Structure 1
Amino acid sequence: MAKFSDIKGFTFDLDGVITDTAKFHEQAWKQTAEEVKTPWSDQLAADLKGISRMDSLEMILKAGNHEKSYSHEEKVALADQKNKKYQQLIKQLTPADILPGMEKLLNDLKSAGYQMSLASASKNAPGILKQLGISDYFKGIVDPATLHAGKPDPEIFVRAGEILGFRAEEMIGLEDAPAGIKSIKGAGQTALGIGPATKTAVPDLYFDNTAEVSLAAIKERMA
């Protein structure tokens, strides 16, 4: 693992690290399920986490035995409709929706002169940062539409590193998902995992929740 004194930049995942938009995805998918007459359940909600839009729709249709009832075009329209609902819902986000400890971390990193970039698979990331009032902290955001492969492929964190212009060993990546930790490690950066789910991917640094993550704690654990 790199030495803390070598670190110059931080690459961040967004959902589950800086804020949590999972509740909005769930609300939007629940409306879609009601529309296609699939019974909603906690299990279905859990199964959809981290799954792509079209795959999520297929799971909802399958859960109600409707997978053969819609043409490809109708499915695309339903998925599109879900995203529009989600985009409406995330307009409710305010700076109060930044996860515990993260605003202080961003402020401390900025004050100490570290550079930051965003490695989020969400096409809505720029709008979410704006709603949270933290766009200015980031030197840049990776455009997920330009990627050839999603996490756990390292590409998104490699690109987030290129935005900052540092060597891989000079950066720490923050993630709350095992696929994201694998992506950071594949990119050669120090992987900081948040939450028990990341343990399976063996992060270099581990914190139970966002409230525990601070510049001082990171420094201490890398000493």
Structure 2
Amino acid sequence: MEIKGVIFDLDGVLCSTDRFHFAAWQSLAQQLSIPFTEADNRRMRGVSRMESLGILLEKADRAFSPAERASLASAKNDRYRALLAGLSPADLSEDTKQALATLRAMGLKLAVGSSSRNARFILDRLGLADFFDAVADGTEIARSKPDPEVFLLAARKLALPPARCLVVEDASAGISAAVAGGFAAAGISTAKDDERAVFHLANLSDLAALLARG
């Protein structure tokens, strides 16, 4: 397996904005008098905003029209972006910084493949806006993970075939997307033990050593 490019999911891999998602969804849930737990929040990991809203509204005592759902999703995103404004380069771990620098020094092409429509905003806040060779995000795709569209787009932007790219993911939906698109996958965090992954990472710094071995 000759890897020429690495495509990273953003949230949960390069950084963690889970606390901001939870706070924003919890605020909306309280507004609607719907219970919302950490377990509900974990179910939303790796899926689109509208799918996440559907998870929250499973506990609602009434149905919501498409227009109402769109308004609720927009309100959640406004709250989330307000919280994201507090992100800074200090939120990027030393392990992540070192791993990215090492992979770059190895001559690999690097990309972000995220279903989030806020990916570029997050990268900017982290000081990574100009670091990656390509960014594919939720503003450019019609289908979110587990569909492979975002990873296929990232690979095209890198001018590499899926077979020459490794996807790094922390969610089952992301591993599914990688496999469906013909990519090798590395699992980290909650996806570390996914049997479909070819690499199982305790942290990102493990990745360079594994790729160096070929």
What range is the shorter-chain TM-score in? Answer: 0.7 to 0.9
State the distance in 2 between where 1:182 and 1:120 align: 14
Q: Do 1:192 and 1:204's aligned partners in 2 also have CA atoms closer than 8 Å?
A: yes
Name the structure 2 match of 1:173: 167
Q: Do 1:18 and 1:98's aligned partners in 2 also have CA atoms closer than 8 Å?
A: yes
1:89 aligned partner, one-letter code: L
**1:4-153, aligned counterparts within 5 Å?**
6-65=2-61, 67-68=62-63, 70-99=64-93, 101-153=95-147
**Further displaced range: 70-79 or 80-89:** 70-79
Q: Please, which runs of 5 or more residues in structure 2 have no aligned partner?
A: none
Q: Please, which runs of 5 or more residues in structure 1 have no aligned partner?
A: none
Alignment equivalent of 1:217, drawn from 207, 210, 214: 210
Aligned length: 214
Q: Do 1:178 and 1:201's aligned partners in 2 also have CA atoms closer than 8 Å?
A: no
Q: Do 1:123 and 1:145's aligned partners in 2 also have CA atoms closer than 8 Å?
A: yes
1:27 aligned partner, one-letter code: A
- Cα distance 1:42–1:16, how it changes in 2: closer, same or farther (>3 A)? closer
State the distance in 2 between where 1:49 and 1:169 align: 26
State the TM-score, normalized to the length of structure 2.
0.87
State the distance in 2 between where 1:87 and 1:170 align: 34
State the distance in 1 between where 2:212 and 2:169 align: 18
State the TM-score, normalized to the length of structure 1.
0.84
**Further displaced range: 102-111 or 125-134:** 102-111
Q: Do 1:106 and 1:137's aligned partners in 2 also have CA atoms closer than 8 Å?
A: no
What CA RMSD, in Å, does the superposition of the two structures yield over aligned residues?
Answer: 2.2
- Cα distance 1:28–1:77, how it changes in 2: closer, same or farther (>3 A)? same
Is 1:197 aligned to residue 191 of structure 2?
A: yes
Deviations 1:111-150 (A, max 9, x none): 2322111110001000101111112221121142332322
State the distance in 2 between where 1:21 and 1:191 align: 22
- Cα distance 1:43–1:184, how it changes in 2: closer, same or farther (>3 A)? closer
- Cα distance 1:60–1:205, how it changes in 2: closer, same or farther (>3 A)? closer
- Cα distance 1:26–1:10, how it changes in 2: closer, same or farther (>3 A)? same
Q: Do 1:110 and 1:137's aligned partners in 2 also have CA atoms closer than 8 Å?
A: no
Q: Do 1:105 and 1:215's aligned partners in 2 also have CA atoms closer than 8 Å?
A: yes
Runs of 4+ in 1 over 6 A off after TM superposition: none
- Compute the displacement of 1:194 (Å): 0.9
Name the structure 1 match of 2:149: 155
State the distance in 2 between where 1:36 and 1:60 align: 10
Q: Which of the pair has more CA radius of gyration? A: 1
Aligned partner of residue 130 in structure 2, secondary structure = helix
- Compute the displacement of 1:83 (Å): 0.4
